[in-house]
Chain A
Amino acid sequence: MVSIEANQTILPAKKFDLVGWVSRNILLIVVTAIIASMVVVPVGRLIISSFQEGHPAFPDGWTLQNYSYALSQPNFVETLGRTFWIAAVGTALSLVWAVGMAFLVERTDMPLRNLAWAIIIIPMAMPGILFAMGWALLLSPNSGALNVVLRAVLSPLGYTSNVGPINIFSISGLIFLDSIRGVTTIFLMVVGSFRMMDPTLEEAAMVSKASRLQTFTKITLPALMPAILAAGMYSFILSMESFEAALAVGLPGGVFVLSTMIYFTTRVQAPIDYGLAAVYGVLFMLLMIGLLYVYRRMIRHSERFTTVTGKGFRPRVISIGRWRYAALAAVGFYFLISTALPFAILLWTSLLPSYRAPSFEALNLVSLQNFAKVFTSPELIETVWNTLVLMLLTATATMVLAFVASWLIVRKHGSAVVTGSLDFMVFMPLAVPGIVVATALMVAFLTPPLSFTGIYGTIWIVALGLAISYLPFCTRLMNGAIVQIHKELEQAAYVSGATVFQAMIRITLPLLFPAFAAGWIWVAVHTLRAFAIPLMLSSRDNKVFAVFLWENWEQYAPNAAAMGVVLIIALIPLTLLLRRFISQLSRQQG
């Protein structure tokens, strides 16, 4: 091809024509306005409340007192440190597990590697709240099933106490749960780099007379380090805002983290100190922005280290000899603590009239009574109905918004400034933890003018909160898919007589269907297991399954266990379906 620099003329800047600009950008303006009111309004209201005295509906004036009060409380500073500590240690442990298993599954001759793959991602089907409940039943200091067993084993050695030896309601208990929960996320993020790593990097080291161990520590690990650190950072961010374990295990033991502190301030303590809750929310958000900034820098940095070349080679498999069985045992142990034990104890509890540690005598009491009781309660029918409505509403609304927003962002239709701000706004909720989204919505919709919409206390506000949280993921997913669709496919529709809207419905959307469906199922699954936002925003009429389950847990564990068992069984096929959809999609896009 010939390339010549055009002898270009620089012209003076054009005049601005407002009416023409608005008419050309009408779709962009409408979508940006919707997303701004979803994202910016509640967050803005939260920030305003943090500077207000008194109840946000009848503020007494402006003040910095909320901030000075929060920051002068030793409680707050301690909680902040504790949250960091738990997330940091938990993530470090998850990294060891996840990287170790990724290595075993992808690079060694460990037997049953395909089964191991499935085992490692199965915990995705277990909502965090049920995982935490399961471990509370296993390791509560008095009657936890594992503690009973341990006491029996240890009594010949002189252990006489009838509590312990392990107390899950503690910082170490929380770290333990956090470390197991992080494994799947990190594993899925790093396993690809293990698979795709260019084997010539290692071969070059070996022909340079490096031993196998030296090759691994000096070449393989450093080459994968950026990917591993980025995954660790991502998991750390998720740990910082995790709520379920902190609620089910931390709260009973008096171990507060940031998210449970906000929950306590807004939902338990009376009267509610909205100003203080707002301050906590704002500070939490600032912290997340900082962490996300670090994360973004890390992934930008990691691109220089790209080891993934996309040449579909199979990396060399390392023979680990007799250690193969030890490795398999380790993966089996992971399965036991991440899935099998918590599920087994939930199942066991759900079959008994009241909780007791597993024993042969207790077997006589086993019945399906709890299931019968739970599933005939009228309240349950209402919550199941609420959950289904919420699921359909959230998945559809989020995906339609994400589709249109992504289309505008990727196709750069219209004003660059507005498109840029739209892109920023759909990314922003990533920095807002679910608990803070809920707090912001509470403050915003309990006070005028938004209180007049009357959506507080309905299923709509829960859908709104979830949609805000899921928007970043869904728009990233749609961005990736839209980039794959050649612009000319849409332009061919325009010159064939279709309007922009018709082309979107008849051409773009059908071509995007796999990605759209994957996103829809992703949102649906996450809505089913969502906990923090529905709980924070729950009231009499908008209770969903997970919230109802939690209320039962607080009163009568066997009922909650029965509901949990049913929820997990419903989630397993959905999760598998989602995995298939997403892996198909990434194969198409790869």
Chain B
Amino acid sequence: MEVNITGLGKDFDSFGGHVAALDNVNFNIERGEFYTLLGPSGCGKSTTLRCIAGLETPDRGRISIGNMVVADRGVFVPPYQRPIGMVFQSYAIWPHMTVFNNVAFPLKHGHRKVSAPERKRRVMDVLAMMQMEHLADRPAPYLSGGQQQRVALARALVSSSEVLLLDEPLSNLDAKLREDLRIEIKELTRHLGITSIYVTHDQFEALAMSDRIAVMYGGKIVQEATPVELYTNPVNDFVAQFVGRVNLFDASVVEDAREGIGRVETPYGTWRCAMPAGFSKGMSAKLAIRPESLTVAPPERAGGGNIIEGQVKKLVFFGEAVECQVQVGQQTVMTKLATNIPVSVGDPIRLEFETNVCRLLPAAGAPARSVPVKLAS
């Protein structure tokens, strides 16, 4: 079922006035698509999801699920009448029931009520799908975190609703389990062909699972794109910093683009870079380079290329790679090096990058000040 959101707005009371928690949010999710709302806390992603679920009442805008308008001016369909399943951050497994009764609950109430034998068959089917049949009679409190999350997923899927809402479902699990479940959820939703809307603040989850991602900030969608597009072509420095890690340099254009390649001046050198339309000589901008796009320049190469010179400030060993922090003027530049490259703290180092791996972004991004970026977790 497709989900369509038009002009969604919600206000929260604050200091006598109303503050927009959601401001004109629009998107359209195709049938069977895995769509992720990504953003920092307070950006409105959960509120959007809860509006779709009917747990919040929007103040403006229209939400439709399939051909059912669930929220519009004068229309509000309560959550128990919407064709949805939902997985919560806290799992929300009812502790006074067994696994079976938790999963059977949606088939006992409301519009999805079915007969007892049918109910039993469907509950056992979905538990089998989650490889949890043997736990059917276990009381809910006697489950591990991962098992609880699977029960929550089974409960959301059992009624064969065509839209699955997931509110940070993996954030309470440990790292290994999170990776396993990430793949499991993705496989399952693809297999069932269910439309999924996923809320997370974890960029890796978003990149790994989604067909499309909407990055939200301050109650608005800043960019909507596929994971690859989002990573390689962020619209501004906020998205660049929020999705993956990035080095940002203040730059001003000194040479207009010729065949897509122009030249910018930064405090640390003048570099050639891919220049999209809209930039012209004299404009100030920000140049974004991903850490993995920086490599150590061979000593024989003299000038001419895009060279950044600095001094190794810190080395962090990660197993498959070494993260290298390089002091360049006032700025710390991050790069990722193979473990066999011989560098040590204090060494002078020369980094280079290709003209087509960097991104030139508008100088004034969404946030006025720089955003602390969440590191891999």
Contacts and interface: CB of A to CB of B under 8 A. Distances in A.
A4 to B, nearest CB: 6
Interface stretch (A8-16, A71-79, A251-259): A8-16
A6 B219 contact: yes
A495 interface: yes
Contacts of B111: 497
A507 B80 contact: no
Interface string A1-23: 11110111111111000000000
Interface stretch (A33-41, A177-185, A483-491, A528-536): A483-491
B201 A1 contact: yes
A590 B367 CA distance: 42
Contact of A497 (B20, B112, B217): B112
Which size bracket describes the interface of A in this complex? 20 to 34
Nearest to B81: A497
Nearest to A498: B109
Interface string B216-227: 011100000000
A6 B43 contact: yes
B84 A8 contact: no
Given A488-B88, A489-B94, A4 B40 contact: yes
Contacts of A499: 78, 80, 109-110
A492 interface: yes
B17 interface: yes
A2 B11 contact: no
Given A11-B18, A11-B20, A499-B80, A1 B40 contact: yes
A488 B156 CA distance: 14
B43 A510 contact: no
Given A6-B218, A10-B19, A491-B55, A498 B80 contact: yes
A497 B156 CA distance: 11
A491 B88 contact: yes
Interface stretch (B307-315, B351-359, B368-376): B368-376
Given A1-B201, A486-B90, A492-B86, A8 B218 contact: yes
A488 B219 contact: no
A3 B40 contact: yes
Nearest to B165: A495
Contact of B55 (A6, A11, A495, A511): A495
B336 to A, nearest CB: 22
Contact of A494 (B79, B113, B217): B79
B18 A489 contact: no
Contact of B371 (A4, A9, A10, A486): A4
Contacts of B156: 495
Nearest to A495: B86
Interface string B84-112: 11101110101110000000011001111
A511 B53 CA distance: 24
A150 B48 CA distance: 81
A506 B89 CA distance: 21
Contacts of B80: 494-499
A14 B92 contact: no
B88 A10 contact: no
A14 B9 CA distance: 13
Contacts of B159: 496-497
A8 B19 contact: yes
Given A1-B41, A3-B41, A6-B219, A494 B78 contact: yes
A506 B111 CA distance: 17
Contact of B11 (A14, A493, A496): A14
Contacts of A494: 54-55, 78-80
- Interface centre among A1, A3, A496, by most chain B C-beta atoms within 10 angstroms, is A496
Contacts of A68: none
A493 B105 CA distance: 8
B272 interface: no
A502 interface: yes
Given A2-B371, A488-B89, A14 B59 contact: yes
B242 interface: yes
Contact of A10 (B17, B112, B217, B242): B17
A415 to B, nearest CB: 12
Contact of B372 (A2, A10, A498): A2
Given A1-B374, A488-B88, A511 B155 contact: no
Interface string B21-60: 0010000000000000000111110000000011100010
Given A495-B80, A499-B80, A507-B94, A9 B20 contact: yes
B90 A9 contact: no
Contacts of B122: none
Nearest to B106: A496
A486 B40 CA distance: 23
A486 B172 CA distance: 15
A7 B92 contact: no
- Interface centre among A4, A14, A497, by most chain B C-beta atoms within 10 angstroms, is A497
A488 B148 CA distance: 14
B82 interface: yes
Contacts of B86: 491-492, 495
Nearest to B40: A2
Nearest to A10: B17
A491 B55 CA distance: 7
Nearest to B371: A4
Given A2-B242, A495-B53, A498-B80, A488 B90 contact: yes
Contacts of A1: 40-41, 201, 374
A3 B86 CA distance: 26
Contacts of B78: 494, 499
Contacts of B41: 1-3
B219 to A, nearest CB: 6
A10 to B, nearest CB: 4
Contacts of B18: 10-14
Nearest to A493: B105
Contacts of A497: 80-81, 105-106, 109-113, 159
A8 to B, nearest CB: 5
A384 to B, nearest CB: 36
A494 B43 CA distance: 25
A2 B111 CA distance: 40
Contacts of A495: 53-55, 79-80, 82, 84-86, 156, 165
Given A2-B40, A502-B109, A511-B96, A492 B155 contact: yes
Given A6-B43, A7-B366, 18 more contacts: A2-B41, A2-B371, A2-B372, A3-B42, A9-B20, A11-B17, A14-B11, A14-B18, A488-B89, A489-B90, A491-B79, A495-B53, A495-B79, A495-B82, A495-B85, A496-B80, A496-B109, A506-B109
30 contacts: A2-B242, A2-B371, A2-B373, A3-B40, A3-B42, A6-B43, A7-B218, A8-B19, A9-B19, A9-B20, A9-B23, A11-B19, A11-B20, A14-B59, A486-B90, A488-B88, A489-B90, A491-B53, A491-B92, A492-B86, A492-B152, A494-B54, A495-B84, A495-B86, A496-B80, A497-B112, A497-B159, A499-B109, A502-B109, A506-B109
Interface of A: 1-4, 6-14, 486, 488-489, 491-499, 502, 506-507, 510-511, 513
The 3 A-B pairs with the shortest beta carbon distances in the complex, nearest first, are: A497-B110, A2-B40, A6-B218
